[in-house]
Amino acid sequence: MPPRSTPTERQRRLGEELRRLRIAAGVTTERAAGLLGIPRTNVPNMESGRSGISPERVRTLAGNYGCTDHALVEALAAMAASREKGWWEAYRGQLRDSFLDIAELEWHSTCLRIATTVHLPGLLQTEEHGRAVFAAVIPPLPQADIDLRTAHRIDRQQVLDRSEPPALDAIVHEAALRMEFGGPKVARRQLEHLLHMSERDNVTLRVIPFKAGGFPGAGQSVIYAKATVPRLDTVQLDSTHGPEFIDTEAQLAKYRAQLDAAEAVALASDASRDFIRILANDLSEL
């Protein structure tokens, strides 16, 4: 099978973790290939995510590298075993691959910690709110692209309806709650939807009011996706050029601390619901 031209972020991450194990063990690509009895070029292809790898080969490589972290090895083997196409594959070729990578990241997460300042978390948006957000893009998107991106955003939310959904811990700034994308009526229905979603057992919603003042990371939108083992956690950041994925331990620690700091200045869940309810009532009077 020829190498993949564009591996997914999850495939790239699996290969990167295998590369880290090899480097930590001081094993060259030539030596790694020799131990497996494969051409040397196969190792860089596996480590870049361009070539598939079986769970058995993952375990063999880990053994060759002297890795004793059984939980990590099994988590990597599980990543290699995951061959079924997710729902997001229906959008491949229609949306940028990064949109699909976000959906795949959320789907395989055990917990999602999200902090937003201006935009609401995509997993908690209504269809009409999401449509209004995409309609505000520069340069303007064709209507067909707005429809496609909106459909994908709403489809992402099915991760919360799984039999064993990830926990969602969302911290939303008051600024995001007051942004009236689509006008007052759309904004009110969006706030009511937030209240409804916050009642789910697996959803925790906290609000940072303006009066809380400044806090670390105030200008960023952050998704911290927890994996089955901490080493495989991933941070996804939004930018004007598209999403960025971060997975080094130093950066993961930074964003854990940043989310902890944001949570420290946020209102408690009950107080947050009361806060949102007041905003929604104010809009209903317009």
Q: Is residue 83 scored above 80 in pLDDT?
A: no
Q: Is residue 196 scored above 70 in pLDDT?
A: yes
> Stretch 100-107: mean pLDDT, rounded?
97
Chain CA centroid to CA 169, Å: 12
Helix, strand or coil, per DSSP, at residue 193: helix
pLDDT of residue 2: 56
Mean pLDDT (the chain) is 95
Packing angle between helix 29-36 and helix 55-64, nearest 10 degrees? 120
Entry pTM:
0.94
Q: Is residue 79 scored above 70 in pLDDT?
A: yes
How large a percentage of the chain has pLDDT more than 90?
A: 92
Q: In what order do the strands lie in the sheet with 222-226?
A: 203-208, 167-173, 111-116, 222-226, 234-237, 244-246
How large a percentage of the chain has pLDDT more than 70?
A: 98
Task: Report the C-alpha gap between 159 and 105 in whole angstroms.
Answer: 11
Question: Token pair for residue 67?
Answer: 């890795």
Number of CB atoms found within 10 A of residue 246's CB: 16
> Stretch 77-95: mean pLDDT, rounded?
93
pLDDT band per the 50, 70, 90 thresholds, residue 286: low
Chain CA centroid to CA 102, Å: 5
pLDDT of residue 239: 77
Q: What are phi and psi of 230, to 5 degrees?
A: -55, -35
Across 92-101, 200-209, 239-248, 259-268, least confident range: 239-248
What is the per-residue pLDDT across 121-158, written as a single tens digit (0 to 9) for each?
999 999 999 999 999 999 999 999 999 999 999 999 99
Buried b (16+ CB within 10 A) or exposed e, 24-45: eeebebeebbeeeeeeeebbbb
Structural domains in the chain plus CATH codes: 9-81 (1.10.260.40), 88-284 (3.30.870)
Burial of 268 by CB count in 10 Å (0-12 exposed, 13-18 middle, 19+ buried)? exposed
pLDDT of residue 40: 92
Q: Is residue 206 scored above 90 in pLDDT?
A: yes
Question: Token pair for residue 158?
Answer: 């099915």
> Are residues 224 and 262 in contact, defined by beta-carbon separation less than 8 angstroms?
no
Of the candidates 134, 218, 146, the residue with the CA atom closest to the CA atom of residue 175: 218
What is the per-residue pLDDT across 174-194, written as a single tens digit (0 to 9) for each?
999 999 999 999 999 999 999
**244-246/234-237 β-pairing:** antiparallel
> Stretch 105-118: mean pLDDT, rounded?
97
> Are residues 206 and 266 in contact, defined by beta-carbon separation less than 8 angstroms?
yes
